[in-house]
A and B are shown apart, each in its own frame.
Chain A
Amino acid sequence: MNPIIAGIILGVWGYICVYDMLATNFIMASRPLIAGTVTGLIVGDVQMGLLVGGTLELMALGVYTYGGATIPDYIAGAILGTYFGARTSFATGLALAVPAALLLTQVDILNRFLNFIFVHRADAYAEKGDAQGFERMMAYFSHMIWGFSRAIPIFLGIAFGETLVTALSNFFTANPWINNGILAVGHLLPALGFAMLLKIMPVGKYFYFLLLGFVLFAYLKIPLLGIAFAAVAITLIFQSLKYQPKEVA
């Protein structure tokens, strides 16, 4: 695929991911697992999409817990990482995805700020009682700043990043220790996702539930879905005991 055309297609995909995050939430396209996998389908390397998307997903797991917070841009990270990973290697893809996501964090702050334009336009429409004008603005423009703030960097990266990325990839291949380092990073990064989840939970108060989950997996070898079901049962038992009406002796 011509890089310009690929850049346009994946830029559009990035826009769709943003829109799905903002409103529809149909497929959670903004999560790197989905953004990466679909990119893999588009560029004809699903495996790369799964690997890059899956790795970023686990690294990001804990950042999606509060609405309204600015986070690294894993949409662009997953798309650029998968695209260049498919053209070079997983290590190169991952080595690009993480910095790309971090760099675009600043863009997120900018577009969340610039969107104040819409609220001020809305005030003006409301003063005139012009519901139609407001509705037009919402339907056609309200997602544009956010959408293009991701689509344009993705397009530029893909359309013009090729030579740079190829040089980088050749350098990695010539030095296998770099590849080993990056792969170890890929295995280590998911730790952050879980740590962020734990940070918002009362670990001190309920550490024994954490321990229980670990024992279920590490010693009893229960598959993940089984652990989830067990967790529901344990919680129901815990709460029914805790909130039992006190019996009168």
Chain B
Amino acid sequence: MDAIKLERSDLLKSFWRYVFMSQCGWNYERMQSVGYCYSILPILKRLHPDPEDFKEAFITNLNFFNTNPVVGMPFIIGAHAALEESGASLETTEGLKVGLMGPLAGVGDTVVWALYNSIIFSIGAGLALQGSILGPILVILLVFFPYLAVRYWQFFWAYRQGEKLITAFGSGAIARITEAATIIGLIVIGGFAPSIVGVKTPLTITTSAMVNGEEVVNKVVIQDQLDAIVPYLLPVLAVGLAYWLLKRGWSPTRVILVLVIVGFVLGAIGVLS
């Protein structure tokens, strides 16, 4: 019996199914399982003409699955398609999915969510707060094209690499990429946080004294004094306070409440603006 080959149209169908349905039906029980199964189904249909055979593959591919939906999921589907085509057993393909979903979730979440998105959304939101629509437009452009390109490229690259991938992943490349993303992230946060957290103090201290019979008014703007010591001191303190509370195990919601109360009271009495 000749092995069945996948057509390019099967792969494209699988790719677009992934794009339009990847995490639909996400649930606590098996997370992305139904979205994954829906995406790989055209491949399974082609490669398992026997109904019983197909049924078994269908059931197996509804197992638990979860990874990063942008960097990770298309990669795994592509690699899975290659393995399936080479006639690998269900144990092998499940092993591939389970083996790759954890590490790729780590890389994807760090590089795409924590790093890339944080940078483009910080810049975009910064522009938006200055009243410029270019902020969100820039973000949309930097999401739409790069995301689709990265997802498409990943899917087909992983498909072409096939079985070679599993060994390639042992090489420590993932740890290095994650480290690079972490360092870039820290430098960027160091610069972005003070630029975007806009707290200032409007306080001024006015003193008047009689000099040679004339009244001299001396006005001290507190914000200028602070800037002379350490620029952006208040934003740094605000981030530091929030970070310290989170580190102590406070939930983000509790920290929001603290910031709302502190900000509101200090704003209302005119200490912060």
B189 within 8 A of A: yes
Contacts of A146 in B (CB 8 A): 24, 26
B170 within 8 A of A: no
Give the residue of A34, A183, A230 whose beta carbon is less than 8 angstroms from that of B139.
A34
B203 within 8 A of A: no
Assess whether A105 is in contact with B253, with CB atoms less than 8 Å apart. Answer: yes
A245 within 8 A of B: no
Query: Considering the chains assembled together, what is the distance between the CA atoms of A227 and B188 in angstroms?
Result: 6
- Smallest CB–CB gap between A113 and chain B, Å? 6
Assess whether A191 is in contact with B246, with CB atoms less than 8 Å apart. Answer: no
Assess whether A33 is in contact with B186, with CB atoms less than 8 Å apart. Answer: no
Within 8 A of B (CB), among A141-200: 142-143, 146, 177-178, 180-192, 194-200
Look across to chain B and name the residue whose beta carbon is closest to the beta carbon of A31: B121
Look across to chain B and name the residue whose beta carbon is closest to the beta carbon of A188: B263
Chain B interface mostly helix, strand, loop or mixed?
helix
B87 within 8 A of A: no
- Smallest CB–CB gap between A192 and chain B, Å? 5
Give the residue of A54, A129, A180, A206 whose beta carbon is less than 8 angstroms from that of B270.
A180
Assess whether A129 is in contact with B262, with CB atoms less than 8 Å apart. Answer: no
B169 within 8 A of A: no
Assess whether A54 is in contact with B143, with CB atoms less than 8 Å apart. Answer: no
Within 8 A of B (CB), among A82-134: 98, 102, 105, 112-116, 118-119, 122-123, 126-127, 129, 131, 134
Query: Considering the chains assembled together, what is the distance between the CA atoms of A209 and B179 in angstroms?
Result: 12
Query: Considering the chains assembled together, what is the distance between the CA atoms of A241 and B148 in angstroms?
Result: 33
Given the known interface contacts A119-B62, A213-B190, the answer about A28 and B143 at a Cβ–Cβ threshold of 8 Å is yes
Assess whether A195 is in contact with B246, with CB atoms less than 8 Å apart. Answer: yes
Contacts of B118 in A (CB 8 A): 61-62, 64-65, 197
Query: Considering the chains assembled together, what is the distance between the CA atoms of A122 and B62 in angstroms?
Result: 8
A-B contact count (CB 8 A): 362
- Smallest CB–CB gap between A179 and chain B, Å? 9
Look across to chain A and name the residue whose beta carbon is closest to the beta carbon of B24: A142
Assess whether A206 is in contact with B186, with CB atoms less than 8 Å apart. Answer: yes
Give the residue of A142, A182, A196, A231 whose beta carbon is less than 8 angstroms from that of B184.
A231
Contacts of B22 in A (CB 8 A): 22-23
B 44-85 to A, binary, CB cutoff 8 A, 1 in contact else 0: 010000011011001100100011111000000000000000
Given the known interface contacts A50-B135, A199-B246, the answer about A184 and B121 at a Cβ–Cβ threshold of 8 Å is no
Given the known interface contacts A116-B28, A119-B25, A191-B242, the answer about A214 and B253 at a Cβ–Cβ threshold of 8 Å is no
Contacts of B41 in A (CB 8 A): 131, 134-135
Assess whether B189 is in contact with A197, with CB atoms less than 8 Å apart. Answer: yes
Contacts of B184 in A (CB 8 A): 228, 231-232, 235
B93 within 8 A of A: no
Query: Can you offer 28 A-B residue contacts whose CB atoms are under 8 A?
Result: A22-B22, A26-B147, A27-B140, A31-B139, A53-B125, A55-B125, A57-B121, A61-B121, A68-B66, A112-B26, A118-B34, A122-B34, A126-B55, A131-B41, A138-B24, A138-B35, A146-B26, A184-B267, A188-B272, A191-B242, A191-B259, A195-B245, A197-B185, A212-B187, A213-B188, A214-B193, A215-B190, A222-B191
- Chain A to chain B: the 6 pairs with minimum beta-carbon distance, closest first: A213-B190, A184-B267, A195-B242, A115-B27, A54-B128, A217-B191
